[in-house]
Amino acid sequence: MYQYNEDDQTLIEERVAQFRRQTERFLKGEISDDQFRALRLMNGVYIQTHSPMLRIAGPYGLLSSKQFRKLAHIAREYDKGYCHFTTRQNIQFNWPQLERIPDILEELASVQMHAIQTSGNCLRNTTSDHLAGVCTDELEDPRPYCEIIRQWTTLHPEFAYLPRKFKIAVSGAKLDRAATQFHDIGLHLVKNDAGEIGFQVLVGGGLGRTPIIGQVIRPYLEKKHLLSYLEAILRIYNLYGRRDNKYKARIKILVKETGLEKFTQLVEKEWQLIKDKLELSAERIEAIKTQFTPPAYDSNAAEDTSFAQHQQENQAFATWVKHNTLHHKVPGYRITFLSLKAPDSPPGDMTDTQLDAVADLADQYSFGLIRSTHRQNLVFADVRQVELFSLWQKLDALKLATPNIGTVTDIICCPGLDFCSLANAGSIGIAKEINEALDDMDYIHDIGDVKINMSGCMNGCAHQSVGHIGILGVDKKGVEWYQLTLGGSSENEAAIGERLGPAVAKDQVAKVVTTILDVYVKQRLDDESFLDMVKRVGITPFKEEVYADN
């Protein structure tokens, strides 16, 4: 895990002091709401329905146990005892008092955390594969490059006021778990014909009210040109991106209106001007890689036999292993998911008690590191299989062992009307109703891989456009309604979901979801997945059943 150097630490401490002065001046009435708005957004502070919301950066989703304990402390002392993990691997507090936020930022700085550039029209948190470095399908660990990009983007003077926010994702695996095709820039580590590893660069992807799949702007980019090429793309976007209409200001609209060919020509021309000045040296890459070296794995871990025995003797444990753990690249270890989707808890939320306990468990079982995922869960990346049974028992006691990873109740959900001032409709309550309607775990496991993504407005924080089942809250004359889409995916064969039909009333959403699942169960072929069936038959069979009474 990257550790701050003196420059990093000085930067965030000075930023805390600066924001403290800005907040004090605002509270004294010395600067206006409009003047303070830009300043607070640069430090991750939104004004929500009930209070300010503070969004904290989780660089590529990697956190330490020490940082988790600090989050628990902040939840207890400054909030209402919990925090929320987002789809961008960040952390949000929904109830801080504005006058205490500088104190929170000072607490965060003491553990190398901050909220810089987690909001506003700037370069946002770079995200990555939550299984980076431990999965079996990886070409190379993408996290060193994420860290290099993080350092390049932090307070970049040229890109502090972009036309709109800008997001970058990096993946090094065959399976895209980082939704790279739906980012402003997506980077894939690939091999060229000579066997050299570099980047495939995608541009112009995005979700929100106009979901667009990114396009390949450069099939292969040498590592040494990573920053210069990113800078060239950003310069063209900064020059030509629309600032007259925020709904048309993202780079995806610029690429669409300009055309990929012309946009590529503009980028390549700009790149030629700067490529030799921003070269990334092999020494710099290697220096960052040393911060992500594998932990001291137990070379005898695979000799354990108790793991298999526990699965034979305890069906609940075996079920959890099947659904909440994955193969690790090191024999004798498992990648372990901590589900933040207990049926009676808001998706992605954790209490201060859970945060503290997970920090202790990370120290005991996974080298003191925790990862957050795009589906609002957590990962212990390096757990010895001999210790899984003990870990499972402790997670179960904490309500973090619901065996539903990748299932229909592993719902991505935004805060919706409960907190967000932009929302048109609630989402947390709908997730609870879906959970209550799907209370048979055997049925849930039989259905298999079904991803439900639900957002309370067109901004799409929960990525509803790429949900296998997408749910979007809309406002109709002050009443909450919900549009459903089917067939979306953010993985390799990326797709935007097709609208099922007219919006349905709030009290019908859970029933519609179960109807859709019933159609799938009746018409699927053998082991056919939900997504494959939607591709095969289209949405008509689902539509006929959902709207049968109309």
Per-residue model confidence as pLDDT tens digits over 356-369? 999 999 999 999 99
Cβ pair 295, 382 in contact under 8 A: yes
Give residue-wise pLDDT tens across range 101-142. 999 999 999 999 999 999 989 999 899 999 999 999 999 999
- Give Cβ neighbours of residue 138 (< 8 Å, ≥ 6 apart): 129, 131, 132, 172, 173, 174, 329
Average pLDDT, the chain: 95
Strand partners, 212: 206
Query: Which strands sit side by side in the sheet containing 62-64, from one edge to the other?
Result: 62-64, 369-372, 378-384, 333-338, 325-327
Cβ pair 265, 259 in contact under 8 A: no
Cβ pair 92, 53 in contact under 8 A: yes
171, 174, 198, 173: which is closest to 187 by C-alpha? 171
Cβ pair 102, 19 in contact under 8 A: yes
Greatest extent of the chain over all pairs of C-alpha atoms, in Å: 68
The C-alpha atoms of residue 313 and residue 162 are separated, in whole angstroms, by 58
| pLDDT greater than 90 at residue 72 | yes
Burial class (CB in 10 A: 0-12, 13-18, 19+), 10: exposed
| pLDDT greater than 80 at residue 421 | no
At 481 the three-state DSSP class reads: strand
The C-alpha atoms of residue 437 and residue 452 are separated, in whole angstroms, by 14
Pairing of strands 469-476, 479-486: antiparallel
- Which pTM value belongs to this model? 0.95
Give residue-wise pLDDT tens across range 372-396. 999 999 999 999 999 999 999 999 9
At 486 the three-state DSSP class reads: strand
3-state secondary structure 122-191: CECCCEECCCCCCCCCECCCCHHHHHHHHHHHCCCHHHCCCCCCECEEEECECCCCCCHHHCCEEEEEEE
- Predicted confidence band of residue 327 (pLDDT cuts 50, 70, 90): very high
Cβ pair 133, 146 in contact under 8 A: no
Mean of pLDDT values over 55-61: 94
The C-alpha atoms of residue 322 and residue 337 are separated, in whole angstroms, by 11
| pLDDT greater than 90 at residue 195 | yes
Pairing of strands 185-191, 168-171: parallel
**What is the predicted pLDDT for the residue at 458?**
83
The C-alpha atoms of residue 368 and residue 68 are separated, in whole angstroms, by 10
- Give Cβ neighbours of residue 284 (< 8 Å, ≥ 6 apart): 148
CA-CA distances (angstroms) from residue 98 to 20, 23, 41, 111?
A: 10, 8, 13, 21
Phi, psi of 243 (to 5 degrees): -120, 0
- Predicted confidence band of residue 415 (pLDDT cuts 50, 70, 90): confident
| pLDDT greater than 80 at residue 50 | no
| pLDDT greater than 70 at residue 550 | no
The C-alpha atoms of residue 253 and residue 259 are separated, in whole angstroms, by 10
**What is the predicted pLDDT for the residue at 427?**
86
CA dihedral 364, 366, 370, 372 (to 10 degrees): -130
Cβ pair 55, 420 in contact under 8 A: no
165, 128, 120: which is closest to 148 by C-alpha? 128
Mean of pLDDT values over 218-239: 97
Cβ pair 350, 83 in contact under 8 A: yes
Give residue-wise pLDDT tens across range 242-257. 999 989 999 999 999 9
The C-alpha atoms of residue 156 and residue 484 are separated, in whole angstroms, by 39
Distance in Å from the first CA to the final CA of the chain:
56
Give residue-wise pLDDT tens across range 444-500. 999 999 999 999 888 878 899 999 999 999 988 889 999 999 999 999 999 999 999
The C-alpha atoms of residue 154 and residue 75 are separated, in whole angstroms, by 26
Cβ pair 548, 540 in contact under 8 A: no
Give residue-wise pLDDT tens across range 424-454. 888 889 999 999 999 899 999 999 999 999 9
